């Protein structure tokens, strides 16, 4: 008789366990500050027992946009402990959606395991009419229990869709189908009959899985993101340098173009020893490392969005990588 998969569910909070004023409170529920009682989320989904032996590992419950470096370090340690101690064949993390993609990318880079680690959440609170959280959690457990999901790095599962950590992003503030992987597309789906269908394996970012497992996440250098716009000056860039930033991600216009005044400020930052990474504020597409970036010694984010470029740059700087090695991270397969 085949043994059942053991899946650990680490609960960190977010919309999935939040409660609104009534069943139609789909927008202001976070302001109420009410949540399900500890253990109530999983207890309300007895169907999980059909899929796997599920064990809950409560974490501190936080809004996604309140996650600190210390929280992320402890979350990484919790996941690592579960897989290293052979307590679980896969791990599911419930997480607020606002920064879910950043946590997924960080864990992809900083957890060395071939066992599935799956993040999920909800766009509607637990009290909502037609809330999406319970089925999202069921499908995340299905994916974490699937043998085909091993070795793919950290995954995200919402709205029946399986997405890779490198490319996933929240692209809508309210829709239940808010998460997408842009041009890269989904890795697969969890169909209505419960079957996990993986269409392809992620190519980009696969060589970075667990690359920074040994880095102390509570001692990461400061890296700031500065978004460009018409008329932007260098004040925020100079302020970042004054605050001790070791890196700056410039979210430029188009294929990575700050204003001329920002370029001057970034040059000052670079001369002061700050690593500059040129990204784009556009939602998709690459930032090539054009000759001007090479001449200035600035990195290009390739197609990583600014906040994910920030995560990768922080880890690379913490690991002591040189310019060429840092650039290789952004271009890695």
Nearest to 107 by CA among 245, 12, 186: 12
Nearest to 165 by CA among 213, 114, 106, 111: 106
Dihedral pair phi/psi, residue 5, rounded to 5°: -65, 145
Separation in Å, CA 155 to CA 38, 149, 233, 333: 25, 9, 38, 17
Q: Where are the alpha helices (DSSP H) in 255-322?
A: 260-271, 291-296, 306-318
Angle at 306 between CA 301 and CA 291, to 5 degrees: 30
- How far, in Å, CA of 259 to CA of 244, rounded? 23
- How far, in Å, CA of 251 to CA of 319, rounded? 23
- How far, in Å, CA of 34 to CA of 29, rounded? 8
Exposure string of 122-139, with b = 16+ CB inside 10 Å and e = fewer, is bbbbbbbeebbbbbbbbb
Cβ atoms within 10 Å, residue 119: 27
First to last CA, the chain: 39
Active-site option among 11, 12, 15, 275? 15
Nearest to 314 by CA among 226, 247, 269, 237: 247
Cβ atoms within 10 Å, residue 46: 8
Separation in Å, CA 175 to CA 122, 185, 190, 285: 10, 18, 19, 23
15 belongs to the catalytic site: yes
Hey, which residues are catalytic here?
15
């Amino acid at each position: 008789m085949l043994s059942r998969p053991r899946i650990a569910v680490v609960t960190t909070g977010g919309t999935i366990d939040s409660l609104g004023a009534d069943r139609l409170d789909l927008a202001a529920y976070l302001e109420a500050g009410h949540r399900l009682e500890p253990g109530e989320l999983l207890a309300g989904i007895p169907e999980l027992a059909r899929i796997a032996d599920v064990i809950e590992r409560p974490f501190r419950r936080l809004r996604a946009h309140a996650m600190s470096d210390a929280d992320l370090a402890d979350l990484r340690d919790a996941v690592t402990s579960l897989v290293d101690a052979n307590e679980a064949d896969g791990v599911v993390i419930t997480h607020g959606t606002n920064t879910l993609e950043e946590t997924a990318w960080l864990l992809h880079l900083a957890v060395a395991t071939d066992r599935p680690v799956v993040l999920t959440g909800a766009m509607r609170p637990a009290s909502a009419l037609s809330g999406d959280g319970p089925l999202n959690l069921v499908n995340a457990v299905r994916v974490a229990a699937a043998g085909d999901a091993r070795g793919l790095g950290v995954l995200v599962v919402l709205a029946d869709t399986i997405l890779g950590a490198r490319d996933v992003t929240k692209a809508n503030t309210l829709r239940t189908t808010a998460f997408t992987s842009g041009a890269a597309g989904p890795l697969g789906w969890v169909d209505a009959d419960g079957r996990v269908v993986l269409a392809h394996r992620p190519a980009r970012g696969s060589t970075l899985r667990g690359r920074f497992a040994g880095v102390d996440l509570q001692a990461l250098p400061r890296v700031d993101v500065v978004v460009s716009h018409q008329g932007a000056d260098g004040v925020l860039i100079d302020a970042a340098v004054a605050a001790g930033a070791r890196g700056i991600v410039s979210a430029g216009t188009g294929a990575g173009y700050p204003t001329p005044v920002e370029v001057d400020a970034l040059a000052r930052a670079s001369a002061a020893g700050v690593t500059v990474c040129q990204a784009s504020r556009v939602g998709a597409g690459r930032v090539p490392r054009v000759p001007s970036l090479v001449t200035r010694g600035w990195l290009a984010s390739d197609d990583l969005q600014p906040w994910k470029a920030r995560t990768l740059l922080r880890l690379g700087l913490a690991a002591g990588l040189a310019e060429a090695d840092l650039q290789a991270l952004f271009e890695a397969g």
